Each structure stands twice: as C-alpha cells, then as structure tokens.
Amino acid sequence: MDVKQVKKFMVKQNLKAEFEGTIDQRVERYIEIDHQGIIGGHHFAAASSECINLYRDGYFISAVMVSQSVNEGIIRFVTERNNIPLYSDSEKGKTKSIPELIDELERNKIISLICAEASRNICKSFRNDVHHMNPNVAEIAQHFAHLAKRNLQDLAKIEKEIFGVDFAPDGRFILRQPKYWDIKDDGTAPVYLRLE
C-alpha cells in the first residue's frame, strides 16, 4: 500500500467511526426541526436543504449562517411575488431592510404573525456578528447549538406557511399558496424534495 492508499483507508475508518458514533444524535436533530418535505424549486431551495443537513450533522455555526441567508432570501422572494417594492419611497434608492419587509408583509396580512415572528427570531440570532465573524462570536459560541435549533425550527414554520402542501386522494399536491410556485402550463412545477 502506498501512502495515499493508507491515508484514504485511515480517513474512511475515521469517518465510519464518527458516523456510527453520532448517528442517533443526527437522527434526533433531523427529526426535531420538523421541516417542510417539499418546497418550491427556487434559488434558495438548495441552501435551505443544505442548512437542514448542517444542523443534522452538528455544524451549528454554519447552520445559523445559512438559516439567516435563507430567511432573507425567502422574505425578499415573498415581497417580490406580492409586488411590494424593495426600495423605500422616503429615501429613493434605499433598499428596505429585512425587518422592514417582515413588518410590511405582516401589516398587509401577506404572512401570519407566526411566520413574521419566526423570521424576526432568525434575524435576531446575531446575524451581523456571525456573517462578519466579529470578535464576540467567540463569546456567543456556547449558544450556537441552541440558536441553530431555534433557527431551523423557525425556518420550518416559514417554509410550511409559504410552501405548505396537502395531498389529494390520488397523490397530487394541493398547493396552499400557488403564487409561490412556478406552475407551468402543464400543471407541473419545479420542486425541491426533502423527504425522509
């Protein structure tokens, strides 16, 4: 065996042992967030699914970061789908902040209080500190497992409201809010499946 083969063998053994030693924790984390099994196949769908896997596998800082980005992407998406300007009238050319958009969506009854609060929670999870790796990230490190869990559970609430589906007796999806799906002329839509 050459050095590369030995290294490959050792890495494989280590990964196997790590996986076997953490499988129960990973399953528990995956189940506890109760995510939406299907969402629209939009630009943030892959990141949302990867975020679930990050949390499942215990990468809490990354899960917090990605959940914040996905939340912002969904809020902008819902804003655009409802023809709400992303720019402030009072300050020409100034983009509205995510909290401003959440408030406007809730005020206009486009999203529920539950969805708005879930989105606000994610916004308040040290967004700037985490994204910019400010020095106080080291101080909040002990909270990342809790923040990641809460963010993923809140993201699940948001996705269930926006992309909620029911199932017809014949197995077809019944979309609760079709405006958030890119339905084609033949009645199909691009989707992102995340079923167990």
| Structure token pair of residue 32 | 């506890």
Prediction pTM value = 0.91
Q: Print pLDDT tens along the chain (196 aa).
A: 789 998 999 999 999 999 899 999 999 999 999 999 999 999 999 999 999 999 999 999 999 999 999 999 999 999 999 999 988 876 667 899 999 999 999 999 999 999 999 999 999 999 989 988 999 888 888 899 999 999 999 999 999 999 999 989 998 889 999 999 999 999 889 999 986 6
**Amino acid in position 29:** R
- 74-89 b/e with 16+ CB inside 10 Å = b? bbbbbbeeeeeeeeee
The pLDDT score that the predictor gives to residue 98 is 96
> What is the distance, to the nearest Å, from the Cα of residue 155 to the centroid of all Cα atoms in its chain?
5
Q: Taking each helix axis from N to C terminus, what angle separates 45-56 and 144-163, rounded to the nearest 10 degrees? A: 140
> What is the distance, to the nearest Å, from the Cα of residue 5 to the centroid of all Cα atoms in its chain?
38
The pLDDT score that the predictor gives to residue 172 is 85
The pLDDT score that the predictor gives to residue 94 is 87
Please give the Cα distance from 97 to 14 (Å, whole number).
Answer: 45
Please give the Cα distance from 139 to 1 (Å, whole number).
Answer: 46
- 16-48 b/e with 16+ CB inside 10 Å = b? eeeeeeeeeeeeebbeebebbebbbebebbeeb
**Amino acid in position 193:** L
